[in-house]
Structure 1
Amino acid sequence: MLTPFAIGYAGFYDRWPWLSFAPFAVPLAMGPLLYAHLNALIFDRPIPRWHASLPVVQFAYQAIAFCLPLDLRGAFDREVQRPWLDPILAALLLASMIGYAIAGLRALRRHRGWLLARRSDLAASRRVQAVLVAYAAIVTVRTGYLIADALIAPLSYFDMFGFYVVLAVVGDYLAIEGWRQADARPQPIVEPIERDWRPIAAGWMDRIEAHGWWRDPGLDLAELARRLGTNTAYLSRGLNEGLGLGFAEAINGLRVEHVAARLRGGTDGDILTLAIDAGFGSKATFNRVFKERFGVTPSTYRRVSTDKNAAERPNLQRTT
């Protein structure tokens, strides 16, 4: 941005006219570069490549014009560039700068909200804010100059001196701040990673069964999460997404399987006692869960299991 102004102020274009249209500066790259920098700080990722489309077009246009013969270049500047293309470029530049400033502000607000929810130190947010404030200063000054040029009087090359001073000061400030905070640890937003909950939930169920926690009639989601060393949100989500079960379904499933195993084993214990020993708090809950699981009542299940065991038991009676 500063190179054409600096060398022009030093008389380079008067001494070497062929430097006109040399693509030393690409103003339309200012907004995308700011947004790319903010994305690196806030999201730790690059921006999509389409953001470079306008800067690439501007650079290519300048490079092609630079290759024209000097006389043709001068005519093009007088007849096309100044009366037609300069106003279009000014409008595009202003729209780009304002648009990327708004996008940067939204990203900053998201970053600040993310930090507030997870940290008490907002130093990382303040560093990002400083970049955006510096850019806003450039946008404000540039807008003022464009308004003056359009509504008051056309501004000459030398009239833009103030804008380039602001641009140089802001550039130096950002460079010095970047150097001072080179070792500062950024705090980008970390997006949640999609997990495969199936092995996690299966591991939880193995631990629940191994420790016999399902026998506790007072077991609830919070207590189980504490024993597993996790939180209720993760436990509930893991059971739902990993096994397709709610907390009650998972625990009552272990309990009812235990009772069914006892009944298949031929125990003559009271069914209600077996249910209470397994952790069920009421007969109604036990009967409902058992029938949902096996399609029959506990009494019917016992009778069928007893008959099946009797039919499968080998005939040990001694024949004579």
Structure 2
Amino acid sequence: MIADLDLLFRGGAIGLLVLAAVVFARAPASLPSRFGLALTSCTVVGTLAGLPHAPTAFDPLLDLSASAAIPLFWLFARAWFDDAFRPTRVDLGLSAAFLCCTLYASLQGRGWVAPIAGLDVAVYLGGMAFAIHAQWLAWRNQQGDLVEARRQARTIFVVSIGLIILWLLGSEIVGRATGAFALSRIAAAAGLFMGALAITALLFGLRHPEIFPQPASGIPTGDAAPARAPVPDPLDPSLEQSLARMMTEERAYRDPDLTIGMIAVRVATPEYRVRRHINGGLGYRNVSDYLNAHRIAEVRSALADPAQADVPILTIAMDAGFGSLVMFNRVFKDRLGETPSAFRRRHLES
């Protein structure tokens, strides 16, 4: 009976994960769709490895594939809910370190290497840290997300995955405390099934071209403008005039703490209409992109102005509303394909 339930949950999870993999494979080519495809593929392999089978020399590699789903989930959630996310060396280093630890723990469990005390606990806590951090980031950036379907998905994502994490943690603790490893295994399989169901339900309940960023036509270079979604006719001409006056005349974007709620108050328009206009009418997927477009325009003008050749780049960036030099440099290079100093040098020399 126990074995049948375990097989039932794992089989259902595999079916749902395959459906999710198809969605990711057919979605527009983007960082979240690639991470999602890798995540579902590794989870399928790990689920298959959890089925009863004769031990083989390849089992550690199967365990490694299953463990890779944890940092991939971390990267997928960050890429899905943050269009500007790009994995850094620190992100890749943490993921690689976690995988090395899980591989050693797998070899240790089979008696193939010298044991390290507490390694299993460290791996378990590391996996929980990845999952909780992904949840926190998804919730933290919710207000700035202008894609309505994706913004609603954040709440479902955080609540459902959070409950599943608690479920898995509780089942693991109960299994270790009572020695009922068979029941703990079934509970873990049920948690895996619920996680696969949550992700798949989110994907099939949303409009895929909207929740995944569209691929850019090319890497911006020189004075090229950043690629955005196709822009339809403005939804509200009066609101467009108010926003344009607020940004071009009042230069409200210079406030680094400006939020969508503050914008709505200043233009005396309900927040949902402002969100819909900036996203559906202007083509921006989050508030920071909208504000940074105006900030970069001011910075470009200042850097190309011979009269401001002696003004430090940091001063220009801070005056334009960027909260930090690191953020400014990243946004500038992403949008224009070169560093601010190279941009200034090229324009002043010409």
Q: TM-score when scaled to structure 2?
A: 0.42
Mark the structure with the bigger radius of gyration: 1
Greater relative contact order (Cα < 8 A, sep 6+): 2
Q: TM-score when scaled to structure 1?
A: 0.46
